[in-house]
Amino acid sequence: MKFFGSGHGACPGCGLTIAVKNTLEALNGKCFVANPTGCLEIISSQYGRNAWGVPYIHSLFENVAAVAAGIDAALKAMGRRDEGKIVVFAGDGATADIGIGTLSGAMDRNHNIIYICLDNEAYQNTGHQQSGLTPPGEATTTTPVGKIFPGKIGKKKDMVAFALAHGCPYVATSSVAFPADIRRKVKKAASIEGFAYIQIHSSCVTGWGIDGNQSIEVARLAVETGLYPIVEYENGKLVSVRKIKDRKPVIEYLKVQRRFRHLLKHPKGKEIIERLQQIADENAKKYGLDG
Residues at the contact surface with ligand TPP, assessed by CB under 6 A: 37-40, 61-62, 91-94, 98, 118, 120, 123-126, 131
* Closest distance to Mg ion from the beta carbon of 109 (Å): 26
Give the residue closest to ligand TPP by C-beta.
91
Strands 85-91 and 56-58: unpaired
State the virtual CA torsion across 10, 3, 5, 36 in degrees, nearest 10: -20
Strands 237-241 and 231-234: antiparallel
Residue placing its CB nearer to ligand TPP in the complex, 123 or 195: 123
What residue 62 binds from ligand TPP, Mg ion, none (CB within 5 to 8 A, per partner kind)? Answer: ligand TPP
Residue placing its CB nearer to ligand TPP in the complex, 89 or 233: 89
Does residue 121 contact residue 238 with C-beta atoms inside 8 Å? no
Give the residue closest to Mg ion by C-beta.
91
192-to-74, 188, 262 alpha-carbon distances in Å: 19, 7, 44
The number of C-alpha atoms within 13 Å of 153 and in the hemisphere containing its C-beta is 8
* Closest distance to ligand TPP from the beta carbon of 235 (Å): 28
* Closest distance to ligand TPP from the beta carbon of 127 (Å): 9
> Is residue 232 near Mg ion by the rule CB under 5 A?
no
Among 120, 134, 199, 283, binds Mg ion (CB under 5 A): 120
What residue 98 binds from ligand TPP, Mg ion, none (CB within 5 to 8 A, per partner kind)? Answer: ligand TPP
Among 84, 91, 150, 151, binds Mg ion (CB under 5 A): 91
* Closest distance to Mg ion from the beta carbon of 194 (Å): 26
Among 41, 92, 224, 232, binds Mg ion (CB under 5 A): 92
Q: Which strand ranges, in their side-by-side order, compose the sheet holding 170-175?
A: 56-58, 31-35, 85-91, 113-119, 196-201, 170-175, 231-234, 237-241
What residue 174 binds from Mg ion, ligand TPP, none (CB within 5 to 8 A, per partner kind)? Answer: none
State the virtual CA torsion across 62, 65, 67, 72 in degrees, nearest 10: 180
Question: Which among 153, 164, 151, 172 has a CA at the least distance from the CA of 232?
Answer: 172
What residue 143 binds from ligand TPP, Mg ion, none (CB within 5 to 8 A, per partner kind)? Answer: none
* Closest distance to ligand TPP from the beta carbon of 140 (Å): 11
66-to-159, 198, 225 alpha-carbon distances in Å: 18, 17, 36
Residue type, 266: H
* Closest distance to ligand TPP from the beta carbon of 267 (Å): 30
User: How many residues at the interface with Mg ion, by CB under 5 A?
Assistant: 4
The site for Mg ion (CB under 5 A) is made up of 91-92, 120, 124
